[in-house]
Amino acid sequence: MAEEVFGKVKFLNPKKSQVVIFDNTGSEVLEKMVVSDIDHAILHSRGEVLYITPQILFGILNNMKYLKAMRQGDAGHDLIKSLRKLFGSLYRVYLLTCIQYIKPKVVMTFIDNSFPFQLISRIYKDAQFIALQNGVRIRDCLKDSRPPFPQPGSIISMPMLVCFGNHDVDSFRKYHHQIDQYYPMGSLRARYYRAFVSKPRSRHEFDLCLISEWDEGIFLGNKLPVVKKGIVALDDFLSRYMKERKVTLCIASRSKNKEEEAYFLNKYGSQITFIRSNRETMSSYDAVDRSAVTVTFYSTLGREAFGWGARVLSCNLSGDDQFDFPCPGFWSITEADYGLFRGRLDHILSLKEEEYQRQTKESAAYIMNNSTEKAPHEFVREFIFKQLHGPAWT
């Protein structure tokens, strides 16, 4: 069938492949780090692309028996919410139909909190489904923002999760989520960075690195005021410390939004080094690597860095304990006390490398298990090849 594209609608079938990346978000990471030389297809799961063909339409009709199973939460007597949930269920039936048409042997995603992925992983039996954790999963992710039990979607359920460490295994189990197999292997991005991108350094270029958690919705809108409170409080403390101690500071930016840079220049002044976000070069990881100590609110990168042995001070000054660092110690604070902040940062800067590693080793391994023989990208590649070529593959 010739391709005719009208906006987001494609009047053709999805590409057939033995390997499918579920969700375009994060697909560039998996393409670069896992399947660069493996034929694969990407299934957009957020309405970016809709395939409309007789085969897909017939498959949707045949799969209407799964419509009820595709629900998430209960709309009660609200007509608008009911219609939205119905549309969401229909769209998940469509995604299942696309998977059935493609007939993959492996379906993988970097969006481990994708509800459609989780649902379909329990319905479609002819492929192995594997999710890779891409970010910190706090209480809001695992409980607060989910429908109350036993409503549909209250429990996360899927066959395999490659997660950061045993802390995540314990967190998922605490809230009774149903993951058949956990593989705590550290962070895909961080272990890839350390193996292929990181450069040997004889000394650090900056005393401190701040991992930006600036967000347009938070600072230019009304989104997550408690998070904004924590970010602003940390910036107030760190700008004061910078002036008192005369230290050098780089900012690992989160976006390419000029408003983000303007915020930090206004807060810290022109003496900072603002490192613009570049996902291709992994600029934020490099910024952390170039700095003696990294300061963070609750970023994933802060935990990744702590896991590989970098000096980190995690500061949750928001008042919401779900943003606390998983393992308390001199590397974290939860009180809005500048004297405590200054003392902890002075202490971390003063420690000898061997002593810092000795004191943080156990907690770092619990949060980010980097001790496995295979890194996540190696493990998933081997998993794919075994599914494609059989268990005897080596």
Report yes or no on 162 lying in a domain. Answer: yes
- Co-location of 148 and 260 in the same domain: no
Residue at 171 is within a domain:
yes
Residues 275 and 224 in one domain: yes
Report the CATH number that the domain containing residue 91 is assigned in CATH.
Answer: 3.40.50
* pLDDT digit string, tens, across residues 168-221: 999 999 999 999 999 999 999 999 999 999 988 889 999 999 999 999 999 999
- 191 in any annotated domain: no
Q: Are 276 and 267 in contact (CB under 8 A)?
A: no
Cis peptide before 150 (omega within 30 of 0): yes
* 29 & 135 share domain: yes
CATH number, position 279:
3.40.50.2000
Q: Is residue 62 part of a domain?
A: yes
Taking only the tens place, the pLDDT of each residue in 316-349 is 999 999 999 999 999 999 999 999 999 999 999 9
Per-residue burial over 153-169, b if 16 or more Cβ lie within 10 Å, else e, is bbebebbbbbbbbebbb
Domain that holds residue 315: 201-367
**Predicted pLDDT at 116:** 96
pTM recorded for the entire structure: 0.93
Would you give the end-to-end CA distance of the chain in angstroms?
38
**Does any domain span residue 134?**
yes
Q: Are residues 286 and 325 in the same domain?
A: yes
Distance from C-alpha of 274 to C-alpha of 252, rounded to nearest angstrom: 7
Contact 384, 35 (CB under 8 A): yes
